[in-house]
Amino acid sequence: MDWTWFHRLASPPHVYRIAGTLTPWFAWPAGLLIVAALYGGLVLAPPDYQQGDGFRIIYVHAPTAWLSVMIYTTMAVAAAIGLIWRMKVAHAAAASCAGIGAWFTAASLVTGMLWGKPMWGTYWVWDPRLTAQLILLFLYLGYMGLRAGIEDTARADRASAVLAIVGVVNVPIIRFSVDWWNSIHQAPSVMKMDRPSMPADMLVPLLLMLLGFTLYFFAVLLVRLRAEILRRERSASWLREALSA
Amino acid sequence: MLAVENLHVFRGDRHVLRALSFELAAGCCLRVTGVNGAGKTTLLRALCGLVEAEEGVLRWRGVETSRSAPGYHAELAYLGHDAPLKADLSGRENIRYAVGLRRVLDREAVSRALERVGATAFAERPVRSLSAGQRRRIAFAALWLCGATLWLLDEPNTNLDTQGQELVAGLIEEQLRAGGLVVAAVHQDLHLTAGRRMDLVIPGGR
Amino acid sequence: MNRSLPPSSWPVAGRLVLERDLRLAFRRPGQLLQPLAFFAVITLLFPLALTPELERLREVAPGVLWISALLSSLLALDFLFRDDAQDGTLEQFALSGQSLTLLLFAKTVAHWLLTGLPLAVMAPLLGVALGVPLQALPGILAALALGTATLSLVGAIGAGLTLGARRGGVLLSLLTLPLAVPILIFGARATELAIKGAGYAGPMYLLAALAVLGLTLAPLAAAAAVRIGLE
């Protein structure tokens, strides 16, 4: 099979251009969806019968928690593509994912803590979700640390790709072990958000927010990917032509 | 036997090897020269697959080496400018553990190799107590013993006295006579008196 | 020329690597004792920091033993590939025509025999100092032996990845510790149940499952990591 079209499609100049064109197509819908979901979640949705208005932080907490895992998976897939097909752009994409994912993980931790305060009177409980998020944050930090620790970009790409793949295999195992640990010690669980009985006027804004955050992630990823390509291709001739044009 | 086509290798941002092509037949020695930093070591490491080539094809016996790496590796031996020896082991032990991965050895075979390079006298001493030249001789005993068809040598004469350099020349000639191939990155002459020779000059170096 | 010598089979190659690492280690027994001494020091610091009451120490003993064992193992992991990478031995492994996965697996086994297993054997002794009843000692030994084996396998990946990195030692811990969380959870739980005199088969099965998973996947990842580190 001839793969040259594939490699041409994935060449840095091409991706740089496409990413620039695509960014607004993700950014605008993301902005609109988030504003709509905020209105729906903060104004239209009724207060929770148990948690009152405190539950509304779910509209930020749940999407960030979901994205933190999804971004790690995206990163690992991009890294695997880079490793298997030797595609530099895929490595650049994986590198761009890490920082965004770490911030989303941190955001989910902070919102989880803020939620815990009114519910349990303390900022930190060893809730299984929060604990797993914390370990995920360390996985992100390890990935970024390895990248920063290796000077040569190509080598850093490949080494961190192996780590991302090992990490993605481990994420479900870590989740399972933490749930198991929690079931033994029966620590309080604040965040039971997967109640099937959630009424539609609460659920719809949540789903909108989820979609909005996901689109926002892709928009930021494209911007960061462009920056990453610029950094990596700083001595390439296509870049000089593109900038002088 | 060994064919290199349009080889491009980068080290970081540097484009070290540009469009390198050559072909080496059985019984032939390729001398690779070039100023410091030109990429002699990089070429040797790319030839044995330790460094990824950005572009280009490497063929051994007509087959791309990336397709049959273990088979190709079993036929090549690479000696870098530092001899890969364990300081806490004796020369004999080093040879046993290094060459033993490739060939089934007995004590006598190792003794023969040690004698061939004139290392019998210090073969039982821990390598940490040996001089750089003596270590080099142990490394050559291992090289000779593993019976590889393709030798990739980085500065084979480093740290060797005149006698040692003659020994290396003798080993290379023997290898060529047996139909082997040698690629050697060198500064000085190899002092070969027999065997077919080719030269490759790597330009550049910054 | 010695093309007449027969080629080595893979079991021979694996055995040679194992033998070589054991022999090298026993040439420097001092280095061998370091992780063990470290293990003892950390464990025996806890009573000083917490309380000398054996009643209370017994409660925290599983955590103390496991955290100390984890840290001591990590300390030793840093040396798993470093020396061999520096003197060019790993390069020769990669070019030997044998499977690099196999050779590195043999090295990992040697590493476990030299650090993980002695740690597990020593743990009951330290357990006594933490007020652990005697009948719990076999359980502690078994859990730690299994757990450190998995840790060696997983740590080999980290050790390979940090070969070419600056300040590899700290980085190695940062990479490996999150991956070691399941081992810690199941291992500490098995130890806790053993100390309470309850059946600890459940968490041991989970530990064994992790070991099997590590056995099948980790050597491949470690070989990939080392190959990248050699470039």
Inter-chain contact A145–C175, Cβ cutoff 8 Å? yes
Residue C64's CB is within 10 A of a number of other CB atoms, namely 24
Can you give chain A as a three-state secondary structure string?
A: CCCHHHHHHCCHHHHHHHHHHHHHHHHHHHHHHHHHHHHHHHHHCCCECCCEHHHHHHHHHHHHHHHHHHHHHHHHHHHHHHHHHCCHHHHHHHHHHHHHHHHHHHHHHHHHHHHHHHHHCCCCCCCHHHHHHHHHHHHHHHHHHHHHHCCCHHHHHHHHHHHHHHHHHHHHHHHHHHHHHHHHHCCCCCCCCCCCCCCHHHHHHHHHHHHHHHHHHHHHHHHHHHHHHHHHCCCCHHHHHHHHC
Which residues of chain B neighbour C95 with C-beta distances below 8 Å?
48-50, 73, 76-78
Which pLDDT score, from 0 to 100, does residue A122 have? 86
Q: How far is B67 from chain A (nearest CA, A)?
A: 15
**How would residue A187 be classed by pLDDT, with cut points 50, 70 and 90?**
low
- Give the residue from chain A lying closest to C175, CA to CA: A142
Residue of A4, A152, A158, A234 to mutate, testing the B interface (most B Cβ within 10 Å of its Cβ): A152
When pLDDT is cut at 50, 70 and 90, the band that residue A92 belongs to is very high
Domain ranges of chain B: 25-49+73-200
Chain C residues closer than 8 Å to A149 by CB: 162, 165-168, 171
Closest CA–CA distance from residue B14 to any residue of chain C (Å)? 15
Q: What DSSP string describes B131-170?
A: -HHHHHHHHHHHHHHTT-SEEEEESTTTT--HHHHHHHHH
Residues in chain B closer than 8 A to C88 (CB atoms): 80, 82-84
Q: Which of C101, C80, C76 is nearest to C221 (CA)?
A: C101
In a domain? residue C2: no
Asked if residue C4 belongs to a domain, the reply is no
Number of domains in chain C: 1
User: How far apart, in whole angstroms, are the C-alpha atoms of residue A239 and residue B7?
Assistant: 25
Q: How many CB atoms lie within 10 A of CB A49?
A: 7
Give the integer Cα–Cα distance in Å for A229 and A225: 6
Amino acid, single-letter form, for residue A130: L
Residue range B25-49+73-200, CATH number: 3.40.50.300
Residue (of C65, C167, C74, C69) closest to C126 by Cα position: C65
**C221 contacts A166? CB cut-off 8 A:** yes
Long-range CB pairs of A153-156 (<8 Å, 24+ gap) are: A153/A232, A153/B12, A154/B10, A154/B12, A154/B52, A154/C231, A155/C164, A155/C228, A155/C229, A155/C231
Contacting partners of chain C (3+ CB pairs under 8 A): A, B
Residue B79's beta-bridge partner residues? B153
Tell me the chain C residues in contact with residue B176 when contact means C-beta distances shorter than 8 Å.
none
CA-CA-CA-CA dihedral for B90, B95, B100, B104, to nearest 10: -110
Q: Which residues of B touch C94 (CB under 8 A)?
A: 50, 73
Shortest Cα–Cα distance, C123 to chain B (Å)? 30
C210/A151 touch (CB, cutoff 8 Å), yes or no: no
Which residues in A lie closer than 8 A to residue C181 (C-beta atoms)? Answer: 135, 174, 177-178
**Which helix (DSSP H) or strand (DSSP E) does residue B80 occupy?**
none
Q: Which residues of B touch C (CB under 8 A)?
A: 48-52, 70-71, 73-78, 80, 82-89, 93, 96-98, 100-105, 109, 113, 144-147, 149, 174-175, 178, 180
Q: How far is A90 from chain C, CA to nearest CA, in Å?
A: 17
Interface-testing mutation among C22, C96, C104, C230, with chain B (most B C-beta atoms within 10 A): C96
What single letter denotes the amino acid at residue B3? A
pLDDT for C179 equals: 94
Residue type, A240: R
Q: Which residue of C has its CA nearest to B103?
A: C7
Please name the residues between 75 and 134 in chain C that touch chain B, using a CB distance below 8 Å. 87-89, 91-99, 103
Closest CA relative to residue B79, chosen from B171, B192, B3, B202: B171
Q: How many CB atoms lie within 10 A of CB B112?
A: 15
Tell me how far CA of residue B106 lies from CA of B111, B113, B127, C11, in angstroms: 9, 11, 21, 17
A235 CB neighbours in chain B (<8 A) are 13
Instruction: Let me know the angle formed at the C-alpha of C133 by C129 and C134, rounded to the nearest 5 degrees.
Output: 95
pLDDT at B197: 84
Return the domain boundaries, chain A: 26-38+55-244
For B113, counting Cβ atoms within 10 Å of its Cβ (0-12 exposed, 13-18 middle, 19+ buried), the class is: buried
For residue A168, which amino acid is it?
Answer: V
Per-residue 3-state assignment (H helix, E strand, C coil) for chain C: CCCCCCECCHHHHHHHHHHHHHHHHHHCHHHHHHHHHHHHHHHHHHHHHCCCCHHHHHHHHHHHHHHHHHHHHHHHHCHHHHHHHHCCHHHHHHCCCCCHHHHHHHHHHHHHHHHHHHHHHHHHHHHHHCCCCHHHHHHHHHHHHHHHHHHHHHHHHHHHHHHHCCCHHHHHHHHHHHHCHHHHHHHHHHHHHHHHCCCCHHHHHHHHHHHHHHHHHHHHHHHHHHHHHHC
Regions of chain B short of the pLDDT cut 70: 205-206
Nearest to B144 by CA among B171, B176, B177: B171
Q: Cβ–Cβ contacts within 10 Å for residue B163, how many? A: 9
Give the residue among B150, B83, B154, B155 at the shortest CA–CA distance from B119: B83
* List of chain C residues whose C-beta atoms are within 8 Å of the C-beta of residue B103: 2, 5-8
- Residue C3's pLDDT is 61
ipTM of the complex: 0.92
Q: pLDDT tens-digit profile of A105-152? A: 999 999 999 888 887 788 888 888 889 999 999 999 999 999 999 988
Contacts of C24 in chain B (CB under 8 A): 86, 88-89
For B89, nearest residue in chain C (alpha carbons): C24
Tell me if chain A has a CB within 8 Å of the CB of B22. no
Predicted local confidence at residue C1, as pLDDT: 47
Compute the nearest-CA separation of A152 from chain B (Å): 6
Q: How far apart are CA C139 and CA B176, in angstroms?
A: 62
Neighbours of B118 (CB within 10 A): 15
**Taking 60 as the threshold, does the pLDDT of residue A36 lie above it?**
yes
* Secondary element (H or E) of residue B40: helix B40-47
Determine the Cα–Cα distance for residues B94 and C24; give it in Å rounded to an integer: 11
CB contact under 8 A, B178 and C97: no
Mutate to test the interface with A, among C104, C166, C185, C192 (most CBs of A within 10 A): C185
Q: Which residues, 6+ apart, have CB-to-CB distance to A103 below 8 Å?
A: none
According to the model, what pLDDT value does residue A41 have? 85
**Distance in angstroms (rounded) separating the CA atoms of residues B87 and B134:** 12
Q: What is the pLDDT of residue A1?
A: 46
Whether residue C1 is contained in a domain is answered as no
Neighbouring CB atoms inside 10 A of A139's CB total 27
* Exposed/middle/buried for residue C212 (C-beta within 10 Å: 0-12, 13-18, 19+): exposed
Task: Name B45's bridge partners.
Answer: none
Which residue's structure tokens are 């080993």? B171
Per residue in A42-89, pLDDT (tens digit) is 888 888 777 778 788 889 999 999 999 999 999 999 999 999 988 889
Cβ of B73 and C20 within 8 Å?
Answer: no
Domain limits for position C195: 10-230
Q: Along the 231 residues of chain C, how does pLDDT read in single tens digits?
A: 456 788 888 999 999 999 999 999 999 888 889 999 999 999 999 999 998 999 999 999 999 999 999 999 998 898 899 999 999 999 999 999 999 999 999 999 999 999 999 999 999 999 999 999 999 999 999 999 999 999 999 999 999 999 988 877 889 999 999 999 999 999 999 999 999 998 899 999 999 999 999 999 999 999 999 999 888
Tokens for A86? Answer: 């030797």
- Nearest CB to C5; choose among B49, B97, B105: B105
Which residue of B51, B109, B178 is in closest CB contact with C231? B51
C-beta atoms surrounding A236 within 10 Å: 14
Residue B100 φ/ψ, nearest 5 degrees: -60, -25
Among C142, C101, C77, C94, smallest CA distance to C14 is for C101
CA distance A215 to A30: 5
How far is C-alpha C157 from the geometric centre of its chain's CA atoms? 12
Confidence at residue C156, expressed as pLDDT on a 0 to 100 scale: 96
Q: Residues 2-21, chain B: which have Cβ within 8 Å of A?
A: 10-13
